Structure 1
């Protein structure tokens, strides 16, 4: 796929196995062994994906993830032995795009990597060039040219998935979306009933765009059905 991946993994045996397999699949792998080294490597070049272990020396995976998300929307797939729902939710909440628990098969890892890169690169522009490329709903605006979001003129930092979810609603103002439809549209993958992924991303998005996340006005919940853009 000619994609460059930053692997952040301190376990040498796992790292060598991942590098060997994904290289054979056509990817270019850059291997960092701790969080500080990974930050330095990330500053040197552009990557198509980050494979991130959580339990890292010097700078742990969550802190690395927070720092990357403050400046980049690069897809991040977490690799971790901490596979509990709480850890998964925390990782997704901090901006990871996917989560695979150790031990994992190389076939599954390769499939997840390809899917994440495919989702990130196959961006569908909903606007012809002749139309306005800024959507404004009440005090919230989304610029489709540079994918920035602002509220009352102040920019709001969103992750790639949060941007895609918000874009989905803003470009379909009269449509009600089920969780399955959101997952299929944003993740471009089959939905297996993992509501936690949608719930975490929706919660984080609401925290950033709503005045009162517990009483959302922009993305409304229709209990038992799904979500729709609020009416103003």
Structure 2
């Protein structure tokens, strides 16, 4: 374990919600319906929304949603309600090996620093970290909410940089690794100038060469425990 700091994405990396892209799209459509958007945009438009970075406000305006903050407040409420339903149905779980990996990092003799950087709302994150009894493993959590505006969501490096600052990261001394399942995780890590590890979850079965080309991670793993060998 050559890294000093391990930063994890949550949904799709530690927490299994099924196909996270499909799930997020369903919540998006429900939110737009709740806000009485004139028209629910097509699938391609909705897909582009998640990679729009700071252009999301313009996209929402085009969809007839004039107040971005209201949109995200409603989105988080719809998301939280749906997650609690899925939790009761036992359709949300930790991926295999998550607890064991976190335990090994947490108890390592070198004192590894462990954090989460997620685009999910703070109260949703807090709820599920407690439900799955893994909250104590993380010294820091960066999530969306009152403290952190949506403009700081990944692929913005803001969350990672905030965590590194709290850990008093010195690039000449320390090594940091971001572990995630999506392009936004890898891009955020690259912008923050730290190593990036892609966990093959929803993209399982794709040609590794294509993944390497499109995502450009430093590492590609199929099981989370493989980070213990990096």
TM-score (normalised: structure 1): 0.26
> Which is bigger in relative contact order (C-alpha 8 A, separation at least 6)?
2
In terms of fraction of residues, the more strand-rich structure is: 1
